[in-house]
Structure 1
Amino acid sequence: MRRPSHTVIAVAAAIALTAAAAPTAQAGNPSGGTPTPGAPGIGDPLFPGSGNGGYRADHYTLDFDWQAPATAFPATTTIEATATQALSRFNLDFAGNTLLRVTVDGRPAITAREGDELVVTPARSLRKGHKFTVRVDYTADPTQQRHRDDAIETFGWIPTPDGTVIYPQPDGAKMIFPGNDHPSLRARTTVNITAADELTALSNGTLTHKRRAAPGRTRWTYDSRQPVAGQLFQLAVGKYTLIDSTAPDGTKLRDAVPPSLVDQVEQYRTLTPRHLEWVKNKLGPYPFDSYGLLVADTDLGVALETQTLSLVPKADLLGDKVNAERNMVHELVHQWTGDSVAIERWADLWLSEGHARYYERLYSEENGGANFEALMREAYRQHDIWRRDAGAPAEPTEPNLFKRMRYDGSALVFYALRAEVGDDTFAKIERAWATRERGRAASTADYIALASKVANRDLAPFLNAWVYGPKTPAMPGHPDWTVDPA
């Protein structure tokens, strides 16, 4: 893992303002209090540096001038933001890359690199409520990667034979562009990607423009009408066959497949409409404008629910049908739980991954896969061991965040809840969660409160024991199930 050096870049025109920083701050804030620095994080215990305080990012315009695999290229990020306090300076999450210039409202700003933080001191302080624009020019490094010892493995820029895809989860978006890199902080995006004519560029949302940028180069523009979190952002460049269609409910479908893989993945890729209808029956209307699969010609071993365009390694669609469908349904379910209903803190990840694993297993059983109850009984047997090694479902630490407890161990919580309240009430809870919380960042406490309201009984004692307790509770309806000692 490469840590950027601590450098300070000062714009000459702004240096002269340093000595007069205090009076400038007062002059720039006739109301809203004395300007103070925005926090370098939002207070998430697992990733203290993720996100930033003092402002809200409302819209990102990202410009990428892609050149070639493993080749640095020009990039610009423009952030439209609103100050939530009187700001003397603020931070952006930004890792690696070569910083060139930063302006705030068109004026050069003083900047400092502190690890993965870019500290920005504007020429004039910002009053509370002020809408401001930050422009960051930099040289992007598409070789940046980091690694984790859990299900994530490698994240950041993932090379393909003729381009790249990105895997920004959990906090890798800062290697792609400067911003607020936390799952609860989302903003609309407009993404402009310029590349050679023979290549295709892809991002979240809808393709709004495709036009000639220069001889031999094409500019692709994508707009995401619904806000996107950094960990769900996608940027892909390479040779792809684009396949557009429409689901029975009118949802626009778009898949991007390397030409050499089109025929090989056809039988599984075309199952998306069936999967979409199945998940809708469980969780309600699809929450976005479009959906599709980005099939990655890489050795990447993990798929990712990048919003509206799930990243799926080719191996997931070249094996047997049961596993292919399991993986496809898992990432599709995330569009409801994890993408539309975001997690408020990283400790709430069990709500995202547990839901996806629960419905993936349920669908698989209905379509030739393993017996769901047998899988849950096995998860129950190991649950105390997982609690010891990776914490209770809602009590992870950063190193074990994406361990098995957040997947099978968390799916077991929903299985237990269904056994406790009955099939009909559980179905109502789940549909209410996906529809009432749509477009929000929600927490474990929010889920417990909503479940209690729908069930018309206090489920806090039951669910708290499952997601926070030191020992696995008894499984309702299964007195014969036993837990191996930890």
Structure 2
Amino acid sequence: MFPLDGNGGYKVSRYLLDFDWQAPKTPFEAATTIKATATQALSRFDLDFAGNTLHTVTVNAKAATAVRDGDELVITPAKPLAQGQAFTVKVTYTADPTQIRHRDDAIEDYGWIPTPDGTVLYPQPNGAKMIFPSNDHPSRRAPITFHITTPPGLTAVANGKLTDRAEQADGRVRWTYDSEQPLATQLAQLAIGKFTLVDSTGPHGLPIRDVVPDDLVAPTEQYRKLTADHIAWLEERLGPYPFNRYGVLVGDTDLGVALETNTLSLIPKADLLGDQVSAERNLVHELTHQWTGDSVGIKTWSDLWLSEGHARFYERLYSEAHGGVVFEDTMKTAYANHDQWRHDYGAPAEPTEPNLFKRMRYDGSALVLYALREKVGQETFGKIERAWVTKYRGKTASTQDYIDLASKVAGEDLDGFLHPWLYGAKTPPMPNHPDWVVNPVQS
């Protein structure tokens, strides 16, 4: 899936982004510096890089040959790189913040998402390459340092911690953020606009920083202030929150879907201006991803069910206890539709690229976790979940990793149970619910 995304031969240890922002939908000068180590001898290597106007490429401060091939930037350094050699790549370019691509699934538009006075990012699934040259694959994670220079009156925010704010002689402001932990490029966030930063404290003194367009501070406060309670609820089930800080970035856009960007979830304004049940479902969904999807990353896109399925599972579970639909009823409905979803969108762990973010990866994958809970019991399931986010904290993991860990914790081989749920053409019987029926497939 996305066979041209991600590149071998090297491992990135850090990205440094330097953006000289001008105005919405206006090209600006940018530079990306990549610190990496060659994992094999390299006479050339690729970066994922789409659009934008390329200016220069250097490797270890020496001019390199660079050729664009579709969304690939093929770089030939002046001197070949030896296996194990550390090297630094610098790419300068004019960035185009109008770049948007479209998918016919839950994602819809992704890339640079304009706002009235700036931008937010929606890089998922493979849109980071429209923003900066990178190794754009969910398993290729590295920390990011952001340097963003803005005109007076605008605020820049990004993943992680603000480490510096410096006013320039011309009145422009240079903001520096450190992501603090490695992250997948699809979960990078950078937003610019007229923002109010709303600080509060979560469980155990956790810093919470919401980033809110000035005119949306009061209208969104009712639901944003619930974040600390949401974190506490999830910590009871998944253990300690895995990062140093969290916050909600309110998107002043018509974006149809939220995104779990590391430590700063992007939530469209419409999600925070409606009814409380819907608002909390979306907030808890993106927050859950900080454990499953962000801290515990996926190795391949076929493992996406682990990320989205967990987020939907806990979102539905929370909602039941807070005015929403009964959890078991949502699972029974998903069960009835499961064969149809398998037919239309592929089994939970066998998506195709066009169907990656369809219903099967959400309620359809939450149903797999529900089936596992019914199989092993709630207590053992809880132990599996906490072991999962603990063992793989800060790492990537696969579907087989989850099956193996679940089997170890449960004290029984669960491969034979989970494999048909994840890969089979037909939906297996639901444990403890012999009366549940799967609807016939409609062609």
- TM-score normalised by structure 1 residue count: 0.90
Q: Please tell me the root mean square deviation across aligned C-alpha atoms, in Å.
A: 0.5
Contact 1:291–1:308 (CA under 8 A) maintained in structure 2: yes
* Partner of residue 285, structure 2: 330
Q: Where does residue 352 of structure 2 map in the other structure?
A: 397
- Looking at structure 1, the residues matched to 367 and 110 of structure 2 have their Cα atoms a distance apart, in angstroms, of 27
> Where in structure 2 are there 5+ consecutive unaligned residues?
none
Q: 3-state DSSP class of the match of 1:290?
A: coil
- Provide the residue aligned with 1:196 in structure 2: 151
1:207 equivalent in alignment to 2:184: no
Counterpart AA for 2:421: W
Q: CA deviation at 1:214?
A: 3.3
**Number of aligned residues:** 441
In structure 2, give the amino acid aligned to 1:335: Q
- Aligned residue number for residue 282 of structure 1: 237
Instruction: Establish whether residue 63 from structure 1 lines up as the match of residue 57 from structure 2.
Output: no
Query: Is residue 2:373 matched to residue 1:418?
Result: yes
1:364 matched to 2:312: no
Say which SS state the counterpart of residue 178 (structure 1) adopts: coil
Matches within 5 A, 1:8-157: 46-157=1-112
Superposed CA offset, 1:373-400 (max 9, x none): 0110000000000000000000000000
Given residue 161 of structure 1, which amino acid in structure 2 is its aligned partner? P
Distance 1:388 1:96 in 2: 35
The one-letter code matched in structure 1 to 2:19 is F
- 1:373 match: 328
Residue deviations 1:325-366 (CA, integer Å, cap 9, x gap): 000000000000000000000000000000000000000001
Query: Counterparts of 1:270 and 1:187 in 2: how far apart (Å)?
Result: 31
Quote the residue 2:136 is aligned against: 181
Residue 119 of structure 2 aligns to a residue whose secondary structure is strand
What amino acid is the match of 1:292? G
Q: What residue in structure 2 maps to residue 467 of structure 1?
A: 422
The answer as to 2:337 corresponding to 1:354 is no
Tell me if the contact between 1:244 and 1:252 (Cα under 8 Å) persists in the aligned partners: yes
Deviations 1:382-439 (A, max 9, x none): 0000000000000000000000000000000000000000000000000100111101
Contact 1:198/1:239 (<8 A) preserved: yes
Secondary structure in 2 aligned to 1:262? helix
Partner Cα separation in structure 2 for residue 213 and residue 472 of structure 1? 61
What CA distance in whole angstroms lies between the structure 1 residues aligned with 2:99 and 2:203?
40
Residues 138 and 184, structure 2, Cα contact 8 Å, conserved in 1:
yes
Give 1:223's match in structure 2, choosing from 163, 178, 197: 178
| Partner SS state of residue 266, structure 1 | helix
- The residue that corresponds to 1:311 in the other structure is 266
Unaligned segments of structure 1, at least 5 residues: 1-45
Q: Tell me which stretches of 4 or more aligned residues in structure 1 moved more than 4 Å.
A: none
Secondary structure in structure 1 of the residue aligned to 2:205: coil
- The Cα of 1:213 is off from its aligned counterpart by 2.4
CA contact (8 A) 1:189 1:227 kept: yes
Q: Any idea what the Cα deviations from partners look like across 1:37-68, whole Å, max 9, x if unmatched?
A: xxxxxxxxx11011111000100110000000
The one-letter amino acid of 2:252's match is: D
| Partner SS for 2:355 | coil
